[in-house]
Structure 1
Amino acid sequence: MNLQAPAATQAAVAPGHQEALSADQTQWVAQVFRACAGAIEQTIHGKRRVIELVLASVLAGGHVLLEDVPGTGKTALARALGQVVQGTSSRIQFTPDLLPGDVTGVSVFDQRAGVFEFHAGPIFANIVLADEINRASPKTQSALLEVMEEGHVTIDGKTHDVGSPFLVIATQNPVEQAGTYRLPEAQLDRFMIKTSIGYPDEAAMVRILQGDRSGNAPLKPVVTTNTITQAQDFVRKVHVSPLVADYAVRLIEATRRAGEVRLGASVRGTLALVRLASAWALANGRHYVTPDDIRDLAMPVLAHRLVLEPEAEFDGVTAQQIIGQILLDITPPQENGVA
C-alpha cells in the first residue's frame, strides 16, 4: 500500500484564503486512517468506533483520555497505537510515589564538567502512554500540564521541546476505585476527548478466545511520524464554513447557560471540537466539515469538560445527559456552507 503523501496543489491562492485540499490529498489521509484503524483492530476487536476516535485525535493533534473499568483493553489500545506509528513511544506507570521529575526529567550536576546536564524523562517521545494516570498525586499530574498544552517542558528555567508529533494517551479507572485521585479541571481540559472502550460483545469475545494465544505479539508499523505530521498539516486546511462554526459555538454557549452546569466548555474545548471534526471529515474522505461531524463528536469532546452543580450531581444528573439534551435543543444548519 502506497502511503506517500501526494504533492501539494499548485493553484493560486487568493490573499486571506488558505490553500484548498486536493482530492488526492483528501483520499490519502482517508487511506492512512483506514490502514491504521485496520491494524489496531487486529488487537482491539469489535471497537472500531473507539479506535477511529483515538486516531482522529492523533490527526487533530490532541490528547486522549480512556476511562473504563480494569481489563477492557485501555492499555492494549494505547500500546497498539504506539506500535502502528513508527516513532518513539514510552510508558509511564503512574503510582502514588511517582514524582514530577520521574515524568519530565531532571538536571544532574556533572562534577567533571562542572555543569548541570539535563536527563530527559519518558515524556520525551512521540506517543506517551500515561497508564492509570489518576493513581499519581495531583502534584505529579500537574507535571503534564505544560507539556500537553505547549509541547515542551521547563526545567531549571530552560525549555526543552518534546518534538512532533506528540500525543499523550492516558488511561484511568473510575474515581470510585480505591487509591485514585480525581483529575483537576485544568488537566481534563487538556484532553481532546474522553472515551471508554467497554466490554466486547459476544462475537468479539469469541474472536478473542479463538485468536492468537502466543502472547501479545507486537503489531508491524503502518505509518511513520512524518506521515502523521503531513496528515496533521492537511487537517488544518479542512474547510469549516461560517454556518458550521456558528453551530459549534451555539453548542458551547448552551453548555455555559445550562442550569445544572457550574462551569461550561472552555475556548480550548471549542477549538478541540472543530479540529477533531476537521480530522473526522478528512478520515471520511471529505475536505469540509458538516454539522453531522460536530454532532457526532460533541459528546466525547465536551462532556468531560463540564463541571456540574453539586445539587445536580446529588440528583444523579450526568454531563452526558446535559450534552444529549443540548444536541436535541440546538437545531443544526441544513446546509454545510460549501459552494
Structure 2
Amino acid sequence: MSVSLRDVTIREGAQMPGREYAVADRLSAARALDSLGLDAIQAGFPAVGGTDREAIRRLAGDDDVTADVVGIARATTGDVEAALDAEADVVEVFVPTSERQLDHVLGASRDEAMQMAAAALGRARDGGAAVHLTLVDGFRTEPADLVAVYERFPSVPTITVADTVGARTPDGVRDLVAHLVDRGVDGDRLGVHFHDDMGVAVANTLAAVDAGAATADVSVASLGERAGNAALERVVVADGVDGPGDCAAALDRAALVPACEAALDALGESVDPRTPVLGADVTTHESGIHTAAMLRDPGTFEPFDPAEFGGNRRLVFGAGSGRGSARVLLERAGVEPTDRRVTRLLDLLAERGPMDEREASALVDAEF
C-alpha cells in the first residue's frame, strides 16, 4: 500500500507566533515541496485573509504544480465560500467531534455538528471543488462516533482523524486505527493528523500507517503550532530505513533533504544543528573512534546513508582525531602507517584542523 502524504507546512507554520509568510514565500516553499511528489499541499486557510487566498489561487492555477492545492474551512458557509473564491483544488472542511470540543469550541450537539459538516461539504462540491473532511480532536472521540461519521459521509474520499492536541501515543493510535478498520472503515479513506506535544507525532504516524491508515499529514521540520506536527523528513526516513516503506516509496527520496531545506529557506525558518535528518550536526562526525571506523564503512555509526535522501556526510579531523583515524588516512594514501607517521599526522591535524575528509587527505598527500 502506498501512503498518500499531504504537506501542511505552510498552513501550520503560519499559525506559529510571529509568522507572516508572504505570498511569494509560500509559492516558493510549495513548489519546492511539490518537487518531492507529495499528493497535496495545504497552502493556507482562505477565511483568515487575502494572503492565504492569493497563495492558494496562484498555486492552484500553476500548471507546474502537480499536488492538489488545499484550502481548509470550518463547517460554515463563509469559510467554504472563501476557499472556493481562492479556487482551491480541495476544500478540506474541519469540524470538532470530541465531547469537550463540541461543548467548548463549537457550542453545538454532535448531530448539529454533522449537519454543519454536511452543508459545508455540499456547498464545496456545488462550487466545483473536491472535498475532504477532518475530525478535530478525533483521537479523543469515542470510536463508535468516528465510525458513524464514515458511514454518514460515504462519498467523501478522505476523512482525517486528528490528534489535535498531541494527546496520544503509538499503542493507542495503532489500537484505534485497527479498531476503525475492523469496524468496516475503508483504510483508503482513513487519514491521520498528529501534533508533537509529547514528541511522538512521527511514531504515531508510522503506527497509524502500519495499522491501515492510507493518508498522513506531515510538515517540514515539524513546523506547526505549539510543538508542531509530524515531521515530513523524519516520517520518510524512518519509514524507509528498512524499506523503502509505504511512506518513503511515495516520494523522490533523493530530493528529500534539498527540498525541505529549500522550503525552510523560502519561509525564513531554520533548524537547530542537532535536529534529526535536517540538522548539520546529525551527519557530522569528529570522534576518533567514529571517524576511524567510518572511513572504512560509514554505516558503522549511521542509521542511514544521508546521500540516499539528498543529504551529505561530513567527517571532521582535528585535535580530537585518534590514532585509528590517522592510520586509515595514511593507508588510503598508500603510506605505511608507522607509529612515527601517525603521531606526526595527529600533530598536523591538531595544528591545522579542524578540516573535512578531503582536506585531511590533501594534507596527507602534501606532507607524506
Give yes or no for TM over 0.5. no
Q: TM-score, normalised by structure 2?
A: 0.31
Q: Which structure carries more helix by proportion?
A: 2
Greater radius of gyration (CA): 2
Q: 1 or 2 for the larger relative contact order (CA 8 Å, sep ≥6)?
A: 1
Q: TM-score, normalised by structure 1?
A: 0.33
